C-alpha cells in the first residue's frame, strides 16, 4: 500500500516580524517534538517560507503515514491534540492536502 502524504500550511500570527518569528519557532518546535511519538508516522518535516512573496504561507508541515488509518489516528492522538492546544491562536490561516501518490 502506498504511503499517505499529509501536508498542512499555515499563516502565523504576529504584528511585527519578531513576533511572527517567535510564534513560527514555537510552532516548529512543538511539531518537531512529536517525532517518534505517533504510531504509523514515518516522516515529519517543518519548513519555514523563505520566498516572502505575498501569497505564500509562512510554515509548512510535511508528514508521511503508513496507512490512511494511521493518519486518521494521528488526528486524535494525545500528542497531536496537545500540540494543537498549545498553539491555539498562533495560526491564522490553514490549508491542508492529504493524498496517496498515483
For residue range 30-88, list pLDDT tens digits in order. Answer: 999 999 999 999 999 999 999 989 999 999 999 999 999 999 999 999 999 999 999 99
**Residue-wise burial string across 58-94, b where 16 or more C-beta atoms lie within 10 A, e elsewhere:** bbbbebbbeeeebbebbeebebbeebeeebeebbeee
Predicted TM-score (pTM) of the model is 0.92
Label residue 102 by pLDDT band (50, 70, 90): confident
* Side-chain half-sphere exposure of 85, counting CA atoms within 13 A: 7
Amino acid at each position: 500500500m502506498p504511503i499517505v502524504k499529509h501536508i498542512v500550511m499555515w499563516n502565523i500570527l504576529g504584528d511585527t516580524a519578531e513576533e511572527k518569528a517567535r510564534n513560527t519557532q514555537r510552532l516548529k518546535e512543538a511539531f518537531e517534538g512529536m517525532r517518534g511519538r505517533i504510531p504509523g508516522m514515518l516522516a515529519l518535516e517543518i519548513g519555514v517560507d523563505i520566498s516572502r512573496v505575498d501569497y505564500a504561507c509562512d510554515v509548512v508541515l510535511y508528514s508521511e503515514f503508513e496507512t490512511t488509518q494511521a493518519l486518521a489516528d494521528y488526528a486524535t492522538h494525545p500528542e497531536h491534540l496537545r500540540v494543537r492546544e498549545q498553539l491555539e491562536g498562533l495560526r491564522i490561516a490553514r490549508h491542508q492536502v492529504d493524498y496517496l501518490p498515483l
